């Protein structure tokens, strides 16, 4: 029998402030921007905890969901409706970034064997940003804490799925309505995942404003409210979701090394989504995954 993964979600609210006490006020302001404002600001966090295990033959469960919920509530009692910098001892010398909060939660939950084998801790700061720590990150990181950060972006674009190398009949047979000459459009949802060590100076895997700027300049501005078929990269390539996902990787990997750029996800419609994690061997670090 193989292992089964089980995920439980739970919300909590907390405030925090980004401040490196070893830096002067100017540097803190420069690096952390408004996140450095006193006394802090708050988020509604959503925590997703995934545990893995064999299914118990008698109960039919990996772990009792009620017990898991009780443990999560106990652990989060320390965090819920608190100021993380001021109220929580773990963050005395550690900046309470999403990555570091996920790291602390991982340690607290890993110390509770009654919930089974911890596989993944995913912490959403909002709908468009989450940090994640997996068992593979913990194995690969050793003394150095590792995590991934996933950021969501949006653009709308038109395309006609059509190959110049095929006859009209073949195009129609292969692509159906997507070959309509007038083209059609989608609201694309793009997710960019960056994985690596959590910087002890910033508590971050990647600086989010820098990532936002790169993705806006290199990807969103290029495609948003455009016709993909007129993009130079699609002059001889069909603008399918697969090719668009790979093109986004290609555009970003010039600025984010392949060892850190971990996954590109693209939702084209509610029924179809794509993911790309680079060519085989490209940036292949332990802990990489297509999930």
Active-site residue set: 35, 81, 125
- DSSP E strand boundaries for the chain: 4-16, 41-53, 82-83, 117-126, 129-134, 146-159, 184-197, 226-227, 261-269, 272-276
Per-residue CA distances from 5 to 2, 140, 206, 218 (Å): 10, 21, 28, 36
**Whole-angstrom distance, CA of residue 282 vs CA of residue 280:** 6
Kindly give the pairing relationship between strand 226-227 and strand 146-159. parallel
**Whole-angstrom distance, CA of residue 84 vs CA of residue 95:** 9
Q: Using alpha carbons only, what angle is made at residue 68 by residues 63 and 72, rounded to the nearest 5 degrees?
A: 155
Helix crossing, 98-110 with 65-77: angle to 10°? 130
Give the SS3 label for residue 206. coil
b/e sequence 114-148, b meaning 16+ C-beta within 10 Å: ebbbbbbbbbbbeeebbbbbbbbbbebbeeebbbb
Per-residue CA distances from 180 to 56, 110, 188 (Å): 53, 53, 19
């Amino acid at each position: 029998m193989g292992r089964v993964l089980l995920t439980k979600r739970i919300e909590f609210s907390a405030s925090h402030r980004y401040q490196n006490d070893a830096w002067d006020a100017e540097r803190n302001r420069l690096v952390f921007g408004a996140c450095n404002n006193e006394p802090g600001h708050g988020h509604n966090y959503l925590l997703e905890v995934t545990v893995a295990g064999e299914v118990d033959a008698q109960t039919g469960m990996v772990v009792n969901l009620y017990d898991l919920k009780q443990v999560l509530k106990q652990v989060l009692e320390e965090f819920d409706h608190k100021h993380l910098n001021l109220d929580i001892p773990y963050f005395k010398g550690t900046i309470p970034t999403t990555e570091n909060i996920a790291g602390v939660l991982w340690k607290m939950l890993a110390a509770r064997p009654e919930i089974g084998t911890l596989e993944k801790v995913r912490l959403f700061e909002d709908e468009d940003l989450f940090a994640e720590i997996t068992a593979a990150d913990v194995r690969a990181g050793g003394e150095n804490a590792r995590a991934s950060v996933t950021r969501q972006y949006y653009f709308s674009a038109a395309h006609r799925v059509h190959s110049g190398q095929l006859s009209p009949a073949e195009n129609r047979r292969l692509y159906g309505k997507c070959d309509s000459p007038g083209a059609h459009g989608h609201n694309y949802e793009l997710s960019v995942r960056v994985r690596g060590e959590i910087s002890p100076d910033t508590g971050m895997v990647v600086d989010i404003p820098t990532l936002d700027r790169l993705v806006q300049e290199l990807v969103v501005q290029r495609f948003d409210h455009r016709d993909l078929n007129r993009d130079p990269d699609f002059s001889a390539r069909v603008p399918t979701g697969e090719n668009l996902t790979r093109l986004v990787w290609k555009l970003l990997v010039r600025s984010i090394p392949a060892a850190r750029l971990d996954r590109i996800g693209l939702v084209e419609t509610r029924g179809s989504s794509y993911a790309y994690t680079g060519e085989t061997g490209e940036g292949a670090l332990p802990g990489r995954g297509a999930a």
